[in-house]
Each structure stands twice: as C-alpha cells, then as structure tokens.
Amino acid sequence: MGLALVALWLGSAGAASPAGTPKPSARAATPPTRPSVRDSPGWYPVVDPESASVQLGRRLSAPLVSTPLKGGTRSLDELGVAVCRFLSHSDRDSMNAMCVTDTEFRDIMWREFPQSRPVTGLQWEDGWRVLSMRLQSGCSDAIGQHGGHYWQFLRFERSDSTMRYKNFKLHNGLVLVVRNDTGGIERLGWLRSVIERKGRFKIYSMRD
C-alpha cells in the first residue's frame, strides 16, 4: 500500500506537466492590478502650494497676530518654579491655568502649523481636541504621581532646540530638573514643550 501511494504521488507529479503541453506563462501567473482611485472619472491631483512647510515645520504665509498670552510667567525658570509649587501643593487647577488656552491656540499658534494648510482639511478644533486632552491628562498624571511632595526647581535641560515661528517660540524637549524632599536630584520629562510670546511663557505640551 505504501509503495502504491508513492507511485501515485510520483505519477501525479509527473502528470502535472506532460510532454507537449505548454507551461503557464509568467504573464498569466501575475495577479491582476488593483484598480486605482486615480483611474476614477473626475479624479485630479491635489494641489498643495505650501507642501514645503512640512519640511520647514511652519507656514510662511501665516499672518502676524496681536493676541497676547494671558497669565503665564515672565521667564522659563519662573515657570519651572511655579510648576514645582503646584506639584508640592497638589494644585491641579493652577497647573491647568498655566497651560495654553483654546483661544491662544486658535489665534496665535494654529495658523503657523503645517497641519493648518487648506489641503489637509483640518480645522483648529481638530488640533485643539487632541492637545487639550493631552494637557488635561498630563496635569492630572503629574499631580497624581508627584503631588504632595516638596520639589525645588533647579533648572531646565533640553534635548531639542527652540523652534521659532512668526508669532511665538516653542521650547521643545524640556526636562525639569528638581530636588525632591529627601535631597535627591530627579529629572522629570513629562513637561515637554513651552510656548514663549512677547516675554510670557506657558505650558504647551505634556506627556500624558
């Protein structure tokens, strides 16, 4: 029985391509090309005259604005001192108030970001929805993890450069260096970015 099965298998293999029978061509073995949206009636390529802003990281066509930053601090170090005070007192409301607001994001920042180009179809509310959730979550997590302990601000360290826009600056890649209540030195990386405008500083981005 075993020999018969081997013979049957060999016979089947030999019969798969009998003499004189043309083998399937490579063309026939190639799967059919999937239809492309570009072949659809009425399709035309999207025109993006500001595509270079993606590489630059900012839109050159953004207008100058007069909206000020409300609140905040007068220096980056002063902001660090305030943040440490809020942590020590578990003051989440004051931490939230130190963050950029929806109006400031809309009027000062949004139109300078490449994501605001008309070709993207995005509105400032789309960007703010994501940013506000991260700020709220970041403040809550910071208070939850570090609140109620004494923190002394020492300095900010940076792992990234300052990005200069027409209406503001972003201090990115910040690390908050502090002394804890046992005298040890800690480096906190959850406060990631700070906006600076006309001598005022506010929190722009947190790690949630």
For the chain, how many structural domains are there in total? 1
Is the predicted pLDDT of residue 10 greater than 80, yes or no? Answer: no
8 Å CB contact between 158 and 173: yes
Q: Are 196 and 72 in contact (CB under 8 A)?
A: no
Q: For residue 76, what pLDDT band results from cuts at 50, 70 and 90?
A: very high
197 inside domain: yes
Residues 6+ apart with CB under 8 A from 23: 17
What's the confidence (pLDDT) of residue 2?
34
Within-domain flag for 124: yes
**Residue pLDDT, tens place only, 182-191:** 999 999 999 9
Nearest-angstrom CA–CA distance, 175 and 155: 9
Exposure string of 113-124, with b = 16+ CB inside 10 Å and e = fewer, is bbebbeeeeeeb
User: What CATH number should be reported for the domain holding residue 177?
Assistant: 3.10.450
- Pick the closest to residue 87 from 146, 40, 22 (CA basis): 146
Q: Which of 39-48, 89-98, 162-171, 198-207 has the lowest mean pLDDT?
A: 39-48
Domain that holds residue 86: 74-206
Kind of pairing between the strands at 152-158 and 162-164: unpaired
For the chain, the straight-line distance linking the first and the last C-alpha, in angstroms and rounded, comes to 69
Q: What is the pLDDT of residue 33?
A: 65
- How confident is the model at residue 52, as a pLDDT? 87
State percent of the chain over pLDDT 90.
69
Q: Is 191 domain-assigned?
A: yes
Let me know if residue 21 belongs to a domain. Answer: no
Is residue 185 one of the residues assigned to a domain? yes
Does 24 map to a domain? no
Q: What is the pLDDT of residue 160?
A: 85
Convert the pLDDT of each residue in 129-175 to its tens digit. Answer: 999 999 999 999 999 999 999 999 999 999 888 999 999 999 999 99
Asked, for residue 60, whether it belongs to a domain, the answer is no
Q: 53 lies in a domain?
A: no
pTM of the entire predicted model: 0.76
* Per-residue pLDDT reduced to its tens digit, 102-125: 999 999 999 999 999 999 999 999
Q: Judge whether residue 26 has pLDDT over 70.
A: no
What pLDDT was estimated at residue 17? 39
Q: Which residue has the higher pLDDT, 127 or 5?
A: 127
Among 43-47, 60-64, 145-149, 188-192, where is mean pLDDT lowest? 43-47
The strand ranges marked E within the chain are: 152-158, 162-164, 169-171, 174-179, 185-188, 191-197, 200-206
Q: At what angle do helices 76-88 and 124-146 cross, to 10 degrees?
A: 50
pLDDT reading at 37 higher than 50: yes
User: What is the pLDDT of the chain when averaged over all its residues?
Assistant: 84
Rounded CA Rg of the chain: 30
Contact indicator for 167, 64 with CB cutoff of 8 Å: yes
**Residue 50: which pLDDT band, with cuts at 50, 70 and 90?**
confident
Calculate the alpha carbon distances from 155 to 34, 41, 77, 87 in Å.
57, 60, 7, 16
